[in-house]
Amino acid sequence: MTSPPRDVARERLDTLYRAHARAVYRCARTRLAPADAEDVVCEVFVVAWRRIGEVPDHELGWLLRVTRNVMANHLRAGSRRAALTRRVAGVSPAALPDHAGDVVGRDAVRRVLGRLSEQDQEVIRLLLGEGLSIPELATALGCRPNTASVRARRARARLAQAYEAEVAGAPATVQELREDLWPRREGATA
């Protein structure tokens, strides 16, 4: 695909940034500290600039897919830096305090999400957190819309099961959650 003229490309990137930078930041912030999330946003839009002619119609989904890839690179680099620091300092990994419990579990939603696989968490965050449609979700996940629809349905069902396990003894609330996550279509029977 040929790249558009520089003026058109600059305008397209500016439009993409104004429309989606906050969503890209929110996505990056789910796993990274604020400063690292800001770095990821910058890297995502550098990739968008380099590939401006390849950005599809479902641009948010594409940007979030790029965000996932940039975050993965960022997390791998962080792991390598931490391992190097431990080797240099002579500190074993077991001696380092684990603050994951402080971060995860601040509220019921995070505890419930923590019961899900990484893939299900990502699908739920993209659907509910970013408000993506199924075609946008498909673009973000790099799969076909039918596959994205199945993943969404299964992730919602597993989320409802995790919620049941978290709040055992509150069946009315579980039913409300199921209805919110998987609304019945008009004319459908129970």
Q: What is the pTM of this model?
A: 0.53
Q: Are residues 59 and 106 in the same domain?
A: no
* Band of residue 74 on the pLDDT scale cut at 50, 70, 90: confident
Q: Are residues 166 and 176 in the same domain?
A: yes
Residue 22: burial class (beta carbons within 10 Å; 0-12, 13-18, 19+): exposed
* Band of residue 4 on the pLDDT scale cut at 50, 70, 90: confident
Residue 147 structural domain: 98-190
Based on C-alpha coordinates, what's the Rg of the chain?
Answer: 20
Tell me the pLDDT tens digit for each residue of 77-90.
888 887 777 777 66
Q: What are the φ and ψ backbone dihedral angles of 104, each rounded to 5 degrees?
A: -85, 140
Q: How many structural domains compose the chain?
A: 2
Helix runs in 30-144, H state only: 34-50, 59-89, 100-103, 108-114, 118-124, 134-141
In whole angstroms, what is the distance from residue 173 CA to residue 169 CA?
Answer: 9
Q: Are residues 88 and 39 in the same domain?
A: yes
Tell me the pLDDT tens digit for each residue of 27-70.
898 888 899 999 999 999 999 999 998 888 889 999 999 999 99
Q: Are residues 57 and 77 in the same domain?
A: yes
The answer to whether 174 and 163 have CB atoms below 8 angstroms apart is yes
